[in-house]
Structure 1
Amino acid sequence: MKPKQIPGVPIQKKGGFHDSENTRPCTDMDADLKFDILKQRFFSINQWKSYAGGASADFRHFDSFGKPANRMPEKGDFIRIEIPGPANQKEGYDWVEIIYLSQRETGTSESYMMMCRPSKEPQKRNENIAHFYSAAATSNFMISKEGNTLKVGVYGRNERPNFNTGFSDKIRNFFIGIGGIFGFSKIHWKSLAEGLLKF
């Protein structure tokens, strides 16, 4: 299976990838209302776990200075991820930086995208990347309304284990990264995509 070609999503070059999507058809009368609710959920990063279900990772939104945030995400903000399973040896969290945000709108469609890349902890910029994937990977989150159909997609690209770290974290990152490459993370992202569209 080849990765989908999604406008704005980086080209797949090396490593694993996934395309996790869910759609929901709506009536003419409630498509706009439900898309407004979906936008609110999409930008409420601190609530993602409640939509994805109890076994999912926990996501926390931080500003560019590493302070907890409870607002619309901005480029340069961070997301702290606590995954089920073995924690890294730093503080037990994985981190990504929001490197790109976009909105597209036509007469019949509207979409929002947020691109994230594995990063260092925001207040420890001189350390190694605190994530099980290397800096080449991206996670691309997208919501859209095409006519009366709502869609949530999560697209992972160029996912390779992060070996630029301590020995125990190299082992952890290898097993988590390989698990993700072979599809275990797709189950998690599918749960988030489905949960965001449950009204």
Structure 2
Amino acid sequence: MKPKQIPGVPIHKKGGFHDTESTKQYNALVINTKFNILKERFFTINKWKDYCGSASADFKHFDSSGQWVERIPKKGDFIRIGIPGPGTKEAEGYDWVEIVNISHRDTDNSESFLMMCRPSKVPNRLKGYIAHFYSSAATSNIMIVREGDSLKVGIYGRNERPNFNTGFIDKIRNFFISLGGMFGFGKMQWKLLADGLLNFE
């Protein structure tokens, strides 16, 4: 199976990939209201775990200087991820990504927001390694879409390769977590997020 071609999502070249999606249908009377709720959830990173349940990774939003914030994310911000299982020694048990782009598309029949994240160092640290199990070539692309009578959350991983540019202990950890990601364990975590953001019950 080949990765989907999604506008704004990088072309897949090497390593693992995944296309993780969740979709719900609504009638025309409520679709815009539901999309507004989805937008609010999408832009409230600190609450993502609340929508996904206890089995989910924990997501926290930080600004470009490494300060925890509670606001709409913007390019240059960071997300600290606490995944179930052993964390990085480099980042005291966490993985970090930088928000490298946020884009918005709006047409007569559809509207979408896309947040592109890339593995990063711990923010505001001059020295150190990429604090993530994937290398800096990887991206996680999180998208919400309103199209016709449906809402969709899509998470698209591209160019996912183990991060070996780090300390010895983290090299071993990154290899095994990356291997798990390539066998679908990472996709299970993203599926929790996609389903959770769309669960309005």
Q: TM-score, normalised by structure 1?
A: 0.99
Matched, 1:104 2:97: no
Q: TM-score, normalised by structure 2?
A: 0.98
Structure 1 residue 182, shift from structure 2 partner:
1.3
Alignment length (residue pairs):
199
Matched, 1:161 2:171: no
Q: Do the aligned partners of 1:52 and 1:188 also contact (CA within 8 Å) in 2? A: no
Match of 1:136 in 2: 137
2: distance between equivalents of 1:125 and 1:187? Answer: 34
Match of 1:87 in 2: 87
1: distance between equivalents of 2:106 and 2:122? Answer: 34
Structure 1 residue 53, shift from structure 2 partner:
1.4
Match of 1:173 in 2: 174
1: distance between equivalents of 2:191 and 2:73? Answer: 22
Answer with 112-121 or 122-131: which moved more: 122-131
Alpha-carbon displacement from aligned partner over 1:90-149 (angstroms, at most 9, x marks no partner):
311110000000000001100000000000000213211000000000000000100110
Structure 1 residue runs of 5 or longer lacking an equivalent are none
Structure 1 residue 197, shift from structure 2 partner:
0.7
2: distance between equivalents of 1:148 and 1:71? Answer: 29
For 1:37-76, list aligned pairs within 5 A: 37-76=37-76
Structure 2 residue runs of 5 or longer lacking an equivalent are none
Alpha-carbon displacement from aligned partner over 1:14-69 (angstroms, at most 9, x marks no partner):
00000000100001110000000000000000011111111111000000010001
Q: Do the aligned partners of 1:17 and 1:156 also contact (CA within 8 Å) in 2? A: yes
Answer with 58-67 or 119-128: which moved more: 119-128
2: distance between equivalents of 1:122 and 1:57? Answer: 20
Deviant stretches of 4+, over 6 Å:
none
Amino acid at match of 1:129: I
